[in-house]
Chain A
Amino acid sequence: MYSYSNFDAAFVRDRVKEFRGQVERRLDGSLTEDEFKPLRLMNGLYLQLHAYMLRVAIPYGTLNGAQMRQLAHIADKWDKGYGHLTTRQNIQFNWPKLKDVPDILDALADVSMHAIQTSGNCIRNVTADHFAGAAADEIEDPRPTAELIRQWSTDHPEFAYLPRKFKVAVTGAPNDRAVTKAHDIGLRMVRNKAGEPGYEVVIGGGLGRTPMIGKVVRDFLPRADLLAYLEAILQVYNLSGRRDNKYKARIKILVHETGLEELKARIEETFARNQTLLEPVDAGVVARINASFAPPEWDRRAVPDIPHLDAGFRSFLDTNIAAHKQSDYAIVTVSTKPIGGTPGDVTSEQMRVLADLAERYSHDELRISHEQNVILPHVHRADLAVIYGRLREAGLHTANIGLVSDIIACPGMDYCALATARSIPVAQKISEAFSDLQAQHDIGDLKIKISGCINACGHHHVGHIGILGLDRAGVENYQITLGGDGTETAAIGERTGPGFAYDEIVPAIERIVNAYLDIRESAEEAFLDTYRRVGAEPFKAVLYPESNKANAA
């Protein structure tokens, strides 16, 4: 794992001090509320429906046990004893008081953490494959690239007041677990014909009210050119992106309105100039970053046979374990989505259990996934049974990864000032409707994603089943999209038709799932495959039986 240099440590302390000063200058009138707003946002502080919310950065989702334990401490001391994992691999605290925030930031700095650029119109916390450095299918660990981008983008003087927020994701595996095609910039680590490492660069992806799949702007970018190329994209965007309408200000709209070829020409022209002007990245910095992500020293123990598995452990092994590079190791995904729970909420007690498990059994590493779960990336298979036991005691053993109740949901109207409908209760009710885990296993791989407004924080556009909560004349109304996909075969889901009332949405989802079970060719044909084979019609037929009858009449 990356550990802070003296410079990193001094930098985050300076930023805490600066923010403390900004809070004071807001209170003494030096800063107006309008002027203070972007400054607090760039330090992760939102004003929500009921209170401030602090979003803490977990760069590319990686943290260690001591850091997780400190998050537990912060939750207990300054919040209500829990935190919420986000779809950008961060953690949010929902109830901090403004006067406490500088102290919270200092507590974060104590364990090499911060809340910088987790909000605002700047380059946000860079995300990466949550199985980085562990996944069996990985070509290369994306985290050294993500860390380099973190350093480059932090407090970048040119790019702190962009037209709109800017998100970058990196993947080093052919199976895209980082939703790179729905980012402002998505980077896929590839090799060219000569076998040299580089990146495929995708721009202009995004969800929100105008969902778009990113487009390839560069097939192969040599690794050494990365920052010069990113600078070029950002400079072109900063100078040409729309500032007249915040809903048209993301780079995806610039790509759409300018055209990929024209924009590419401008980027390449700026890049060519950058190549001659910008100093190359210091080799010592790169070497230090690379060294910090060297694999841990693997533990060589026998993997014992466990003759009599109990049913719970067996289904946990079925769903929550992924293949590791080392055949005697496993990647364990811990679900934060017990039946009827709030997706992504973790109590301070659970955080401490996870910290402890990471330190003892996962080479002191944890990951947060954009699917709001927690990952123990390096677990020796001999330790799986004892880990399962500890997770069960902590209520963290739900065996539902990738299944119908492993739902992504934004905070929705329970917390968020922008929301137009509730998300969390819908997730809870769906999860209760499918409470039988055995039935969930039969249904198989099915991603449901719920957003409580058009800004799409719950990624509903890329859910196999997406749910979008809107406000229709003061009444919650939920639209359904089908066929979305956030992986390397990315697709935006298609709307089925009119929305459903709050008390109709869960039965509607049940009808979709039952229809799938009826028409799938075999248990091996996953929901998304069935949808791609038969299209939306059979699902519309069960969603809107009345209009069907009307058509037939």
Chain B
Amino acid sequence: MSQLINKTGFIEDDWQGEILPFDAFWNGQDLPEEEPFGVAIDVATDPFDLQPWFGRVDMIVIPFAGFADGRGFSLARKLRQLGYQGRIRAQGHLLVDQFRAAMRVGIDQLEISDDLAARMPEHQWKAVPLSDSYQSHLNAA
């Protein structure tokens, strides 16, 4: 099992719908017509290739195989830069200490293992200050 986290703390998973692999767009699989559906991408996916479907995708799941692999931060930010407005879920090994960065690059929620959630309980996540950053200061209008 796993634990979902967003800015408010530990949350229940309210996702209802399918999560398809990115290849589903190419291998002829029928895409759900009515229900929301999500796409699980690979760290090597170029967000640019997903752009044509942004309007139809309700959630993109980005894997974090290990906390030291920062590609997911760039993937999330690039998705936002390309105009994706749906939900972004980061899934895997992410630390409390990376929560601030995750929120800033446009990730909405994190899904971590129960083991990790036990080691890093909710109060630690809620204590992370999501105050403004150098980057927002530099671009302040």
Q: Say whether A associates with B.
A: yes
Mark A residues whose CB is within 8 Å of B. 7, 11, 14, 18, 21-22, 25, 29-31, 35, 38-39, 121, 148, 151-152, 154-162, 227, 235, 238-239, 243, 273-274, 277-282, 284-285
Chain B residues with CB under 8 A of A158: 70, 73-74, 77, 101, 105
Shortest distance between the CB of A23 and any CB in chain B (Å): 12
- Which 6 residue pairs across A and B have the least CB separation, nearest first? A161-B70, A157-B101, A157-B104, A279-B139, A238-B74, A158-B73
Say yes or no: A157 contacts B81, CB within 8 Å: no
User: Within the assembled complex, what's the spacing in Å between the Cα atoms of A432 and B41?
Assistant: 62
A-B contact pairs, 12 of them (CB 8 A): A22-B97, A25-B96, A39-B97, A154-B134, A157-B102, A160-B70, A160-B73, A161-B67, A239-B71, A280-B139, A282-B137, A284-B140
Contacting pair A282 B73 (CB below 8 A): no
Inter-chain contact A161/B68, CB cutoff 8 Å: yes
Interchain CA distance A14-B96 in the complex, whole Å: 15
B31 at the interface (CB under 8 A from A): no
> Are A14's CB and B73's CB within 8 A?
no
Q: Which residues on the B side are within 8 Å of A156 (C-beta)?
A: 134-135
- Of all chain B residues, which has the CB nearest A286? B138
List the B side residues contacting A285 at CB < 8 Å.
137-138, 140
Residue B8 is within 8 A (CB to CB) of chain A in the complex: no
Interface of chain B: mostly helix, strand, loop or mixed? helix
Question: A121 to B101, Cβ gap below 8 A?
Answer: no
How many Cβ-Cβ contacts under 8 Å join chain A to chain B?
Answer: 102
Question: Chain A's nearest CB lies how many Å from the CB of B86?
Answer: 18
Q: Contact string, B77-109, partner A, CB cutoff 8 A, digits 1/0?
A: 110011000000000000111101110110000
Q: Which residues of B contact A31 (CB under 8 A)?
A: 95, 97
B133 part of interface (Cβ distance < 8 Å): yes
Residues of A within 8 A of B124 (CB): 25, 30
Taking each of A7, A30, A162, A273, which has the highest tally of chain B beta carbons within 10 Å of its own beta carbon? A30
Q: Are B137 and A35 in contact (CB under 8 A)?
A: no
Q: In the complex the two chains form, what is the Cα distance from A39 to B67 in whole Å? A: 11
> Is there a chain A Cβ closer than 8 Å to B75's Cβ?
yes
Check B81–A35 contact: CB distance below 8 A.
Answer: no
B119 touches A30 (CB 8 A): yes
Measured in the bound complex, the distance between the Cα atoms of B81 and A239 in whole Å is: 15
Quick one: which of B111-141 are within 8 Å of A by CB?
A: 119-120, 124, 127, 129, 131-135, 137-141
Check: B23 CB closer than 8 A to any chain A CB.
no
- With A29-B119, A285-B138 as known contacts, state yes or no: A157 contacts B67, CB within 8 Å: no
Cβ of B96: which chain A residues have Cβ within 8 Å of it? 25, 30
Contact of A235 among B78, B119, B127, B138 (CB under 8 A): B78
A280-B67 Cα distance, complex, nearest whole Å: 31
In the assembled complex, B69 has its CB within 8 A of some CB on chain A:
yes
| A282-B139 in contact (CB<8A) | yes
CB neighbours of A22 from chain B (8 A): 97
Most chain A beta-carbon neighbours within 10 Å: one of B69, B78, B98, B135: B135
Q: Are A277 and B81 in contact (CB under 8 A)?
A: yes
Which residues of B from 44 to 64 have beta carbons under 8 Å from A?
Answer: none
**Can you name the residue of chain B whose Cβ is closest to the Cβ of A239?**
B74
Inter-chain contact B139/A281, CB cutoff 8 Å: yes
Contact call B101/A235, Cβ cutoff below 8 A: no
Say yes or no: B69 contacts A155, CB within 8 Å. Answer: no
- B65 nearest CB across to chain A (Å): 10
Smallest CB–CB gap between B59 and chain A, Å?
21
Known A238-B73, A281-B139; contact A35-B67, beta-carbon cutoff 8 A = yes
- Give the docked Cα–Cα distance between A157 and B67 (Å): 14
B138–A282 CB distance below 8 A: yes
Shortest distance between the CB of B39 and any CB in chain A (Å)? 18
- Let me know if A155 and B138 touch, CB within 8 A: no
The residue among B69, B119, B124 with the most chain A CB atoms within 10 A of its own CB is B119
CA distance A22 to B82 in the complex (A): 35
Neighbour of A243 across the interface among B69, B119, B129, CB < 8 A? B69
CB pair B137–A160 under 8 Å, yes or no, is no
Complex Cα gap A508–B137 (Å)? 55
- Complex CA gap A39/B74 in Å reads 19
> In the complex, which residues of chain B have a beta carbon less than 8 angstroms from the beta carbon of A14?
129, 131
